[in-house]
């Protein structure tokens, strides 16, 4: 699998979120507690509502779902996995 470059996830990088790869055989993820800390309670509530029931794995919330929600919050654009049901 190709290692993801930092620019592949500009919104995650903008917030300075840590990409978790504890299990290299699972999809990289983000810790919800870190998202809360970086966004604050008010914006995290919006994030949580938009994230809904997206996929969470061994490494945390799937990185591409987090990126898509953060993009929608920042720009209003639907991208990636937010366009279609998984």
Which pLDDT score, from 0 to 100, does residue 1 have? 38
- Give pLDDT tens digits along the chain (86 positions): 344 445 589 999 999 999 999 999 999 999 999 999 999 999 999 999 888 777 789 999 999 899 989 999 998 877 665 545 54
Which pLDDT score, from 0 to 100, does residue 6 have? 52
Calpha distance 20→63 (Å, rounded): 9
Contact call for residues 50 and 32 (beta carbons, < 8 A): no
Calpha distance 70→51 (Å, rounded): 9
φ, ψ of residue 67 in degrees (nearest 5): -60, -45
Calpha distance 22→58 (Å, rounded): 8
Contact call for residues 18 and 30 (beta carbons, < 8 A): yes
């Amino acid at each position: 699998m190709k290692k993801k470059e930092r620019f592949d996830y500009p919104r995650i990088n903008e917030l300075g979120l840590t990409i978790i790869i504890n299990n290299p055989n699972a999809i990289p993820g983000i810790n919800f507690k870190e998202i809360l800390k970086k966004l604050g309670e008010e914006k995290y509530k919006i994030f949580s509502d938009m994230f809904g029931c997206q996929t969470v794995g061994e490494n945390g919330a799937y990185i591409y779902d987090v990126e898509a929600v953060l993009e929608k919050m920042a720009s209003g654009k639907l991208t990636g996995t937010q366009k279609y049901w998984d």
